[in-house]
Amino acid sequence: MNNITSTHYDPNCFLCKAANSNINDLPTYDQPIIESKNFIVVSALGQFIEGYVLIAPRLHFMNMMVIPQNLLKEFFELKAFVSKLLSEEYRKPIFFEHGILSNGDREGCCIDHAHMHGIPANLTILNDISCLFEFERLEFLNYDIDLFYKKLKFSKPYFYIQLANLKQYIFYNNKIPNQLGRKVIAEALGCHNYWDWSQYPFFERAESTFYRLRNKIYFQEAR
């Protein structure tokens, strides 16, 4: 991509590299499975369940709330496509984001490049996140892009989750526990020992997701 400013490109960030490098320079598990004009979908490392992906903007923004508003439509369309793909190939997915606010904090997540987690987990109930930390909660029953964007113009880190039944929730607080979403979902799936992706990267499973979804898209396009 041309015209990338240094504030929107971090040479040490794997998502920046995945979005802006020649794929031959990337390990398979970091190569984009899907690319749109402004976003990529990659296989997630630390997938305690196969089919786990991340949707990220090409540019290095802090969270999904600070990406330019005119990109949101593209983002939601891509998210819907990923949802369909995961449902067909694996299970209905849940999506979540650890919305961090500052470079140093990395609340809730270890990556400071905006990304939405997509996990084919078919969970329709929320584990009791309220036990884990103090929170304020917004609940959306309808899919509303404007509301999603405007309501989130707050100054606290947040945790966004969309369950497999399409119910969406946003929790926000001064401090979101590290890797909160991964902990909650790993627990719900009975793989609670594997929430820490740096300890359990599951490289082979990430590659398997890459090939399975790439092939599915390839055959869909060929039809």
Which positions lie near Zn ion, rule CB under 5 A?
10, 13, 15-16, 60, 98, 109, 113
Query: Closest approach of Cβ 221 to Zn ion, in Å?
Result: 28
Q: Are 50 and 42 in contact (CB under 8 A)?
A: no
Query: Closest approach of Cβ 222 to Zn ion, in Å?
Result: 33
* Nearer to Zn ion among residue 92 and residue 113 (C-beta): 113
Strand partners, 117: 54, 96
Question: Rounded to an integer, what distance in angstroms lies between the CA atom of residue 103 and that of residue 121?
Answer: 30
Q: Which of 144, 145, 152 is nearest to 170 (CA)?
A: 152
Rounded to a whole number of angstroms, the CA Rg of the chain reads 16
Contacts of 11 (CB under 8 A, 6+ apart): 17
Query: Closest approach of Cβ 70 to Zn ion, in Å?
Result: 20
* Nearer to Zn ion among residue 13 and residue 72 (C-beta): 13
Q: Is 177 helix (H, G, I), strand (E, B) or coil?
A: coil
Query: Closest approach of Cβ 30 to Zn ion, in Å?
Result: 12
Question: Rounded to an integer, what distance in angstroms lies between the CA atom of residue 207 and that of residue 157?
Answer: 31
Query: Closest approach of Cβ 77 to Zn ion, in Å?
Result: 21
Q: Is 65 helix (H, G, I), strand (E, B) or coil?
A: coil
* Nearer to Zn ion among residue 15 and residue 42 (C-beta): 15
Question: Rounded to an integer, what distance in angstroms lies between the CA atom of residue 53 and that of residue 107?
Answer: 20
* Nearer to Zn ion among residue 16 and residue 206 (C-beta): 16
Which DSSP category does 26 fall into?
S
* Nearer to Zn ion among residue 10 and residue 89 (C-beta): 10
* Nearer to Zn ion among residue 57 and residue 210 (C-beta): 57
Query: Closest approach of Cβ 111 to Zn ion, in Å?
Result: 6
Pairing of strands 116-119, 158-162: unpaired
Beta strand residue intervals within the chain, DSSP E: 34-35, 39-43, 53-57, 94-99, 116-119, 136-140, 158-162, 168-172
Query: Closest approach of Cβ 121 to Zn ion, in Å?
Result: 15
Q: Are 195 and 186 in contact (CB under 8 A)?
A: yes
* Nearer to Zn ion among residue 113 and residue 205 (C-beta): 113
